[in-house]
Structure 1
Amino acid sequence: MRKPVIFCDFDGTVTKKDNIISIMKKFAPPEWEKWKEGVLSQSVSIQEGVGNMFALLPSSLRQEMVDFVLETAEVREGFGEFVRYTEKQEIPLYIVSGGIDFFVKPLLEPFHSISGVYCNEADFSGEHIRILWPHGCDQACPSQNCGCCKPALIRRIASQGEHTVVIGDSVTDLQAAKIADSVMARDYLSEKCTELSIPFQPFDTFYDCIDRLEKLKQNIR
């Protein structure tokens, strides 16, 4: 049987809401919204949009933002069970996130069996926050400005012959969905997959994802 390997988004997928949006609504001046709209319309790159959003925020807000996310972020139903399921089934589970390390990693700390976490990083050494991009695009990526390039990570991590599964909800997951063997999608990503005729399975909770994986195991022999 072909072995599945999972690449799962974080904001809006593991968590119910996008934490970058929540942070901006709470702490940023109104001009952050033009960058959000640019990213959603794909008129500006994810890297440019997210970088400029965080550049609006002073570094002195670091602990206040961490506390805010830890207090307000809700993990989607079934995620703990999903992590345990993948561990029991020996299915590698990677979190690939356009989010930022200062809130992604603390929220994932209780889930010890995740195979790896890949996200962007924040530099708080200056007056304003600067976003770093340690997981950039490879030569095969048409964008070259993804920020955290999920297709490049899939190409780098997945072994030949493995069945790649992408789970996500947003514009940051679209390019990954285009190259995955299987896609589980909700919200914006499901709309774009429908529009672009990318096959996908809808999900609302991670219990749905467990069911999809159980059925998938029967189909990828």
Structure 2
Amino acid sequence: MTKPVVFCDFDGTITNSDNIIAIMKQFAPPEWEAIKDDILAQNISIQEGVGKLFSLLPSSSKEEITSYILDEAVIRQGFKEFVAFTKEKGIPLYIISGGIDFFVYPLLEGLIDQSEIYCNGSDFTSENITILWPHSCDDGCLNGCGCCKPSLMRKLANVEDYKIVIGDSITDLQAAKLADEVIARDLLLAKCQQLDLKHTAFSTFYEVIDVLEKKLEVNPA
């Protein structure tokens, strides 16, 4: 059997809190909350919603926003050890994130190579921030994901690979449905329970390491 291939979310998963929400709370006008509620209720697509959220912010705030997130964001306990574990065991690890390059890349610098990070892009040349979508949906997805996690899974993993998705939110749900196993917290955990998806709950990445160790013991490559 092939070793697991791991697809890991960023906001609220690798970081303790959702960085987009943190940015909006700090910098956006009040109408951001209605957009956020529409995304979570699946009334609008993630791509449409995230684009609308950032269009509320002036491009001139780029440095201030970036500095704020780099100061405020906290990497979840055990993540550094988890990355080392996957490298030691030769387990492919891809970060698939609905986050934005201008804060995802610097927060993961020194931990994950940029070639293994798939996230949304950004353009600060207009008056307000424009989000770019280099990893939008393939023909197999019509959900308007923005950064389409199912499409990336189809691109990066083979059919026979044991696909593990790690995540926390509605933005990870479509990927979770394609996974052989889900490691989940928060809203994604509730969805896994509701839909009877194979899953394990986690709060730190030490628990994720335990799950992978057991998987390797039962199914050594």
Same fold (TM over 0.5): yes
AA matched with 2:190: E
TM-superposed CA distance for 1:53, in Å, is 0.5
Partner residue of 1:79?
Answer: 79
Q: Is the 8 A contact 1:3 1:161 kept in 2?
A: no
Partner residue of 1:53?
Answer: 53
TM-score scaled by length of structure 2: 0.97
TM-superposed CA distance for 1:219, in Å, is 3.5
Partner residue of 2:64?
Answer: 64
TM-superposed CA distance for 1:159, in Å, is 1.9
Partner residue of 2:89?
Answer: 89
Residues 41-84 of structure 1: CA deviation (Å, up to 9, x unaligned): 00111011110000000000000011000000000000000000
- Inter-CA distance 66–60: structure 2 relative to 1 (3 Å threshold): same
Alpha-carbon distance in 1 for matches of 2:89, 2:209:
11
AA matched with 2:56: L
TM-superposed CA distance for 1:160, in Å, is 3.1
Q: Secondary structure at the match of 2:166?
A: strand
Partner residue of 1:109?
Answer: 109
Q: Secondary structure at the match of 1:188?
A: helix
TM-superposed CA distance for 1:161, in Å, is 1.7
TM-superposed CA distance for 1:187, in Å, is 0.2
CA-based RMSD: 1.2
Q: Is the 8 A contact 1:24 1:53 kept in 2?
A: yes
Alpha-carbon distance in 2 for matches of 1:204, 1:113:
24
Paired residues, number: 220
AA matched with 2:167: G
- Inter-CA distance 123–114: structure 2 relative to 1 (3 Å threshold): closer
AA matched with 2:81: E
TM-superposed CA distance for 1:142, in Å, is 3.7
Alignment of 1:112-123 (within 5 A): 112=112, 116-123=116-123
Alpha-carbon distance in 2 for matches of 1:114, 1:183:
24
Alpha-carbon distance in 2 for matches of 1:117, 1:24:
23
Q: Is the 8 A contact 2:181 2:197 kept in 1?
A: no
Alpha-carbon distance in 2 for matches of 1:113, 1:99:
16
TM-score scaled by length of structure 1: 0.97
TM-superposed CA distance for 1:5, in Å, is 0.7
TM-superposed CA distance for 1:217, in Å, is 1.5
Alpha-carbon distance in 2 for matches of 1:175, 1:123:
27
Alpha-carbon distance in 2 for matches of 1:18, 1:48:
18
Partner residue of 1:217?
Answer: 216
Alpha-carbon distance in 1 for matches of 2:206, 2:114:
17
Q: Is 2:1 the partner of 1:7?
A: no
Q: Percent identity?
A: 57
Alignment of 1:33-48 (within 5 A): 33-48=33-48
**For structure 1, which runs of at least 5 residues remain unmatched after alignment?**
none
Q: Secondary structure at the match of 1:14?
A: coil
Q: Is 2:27 the partner of 1:27?
A: yes
Alpha-carbon distance in 2 for matches of 1:6, 1:50:
25
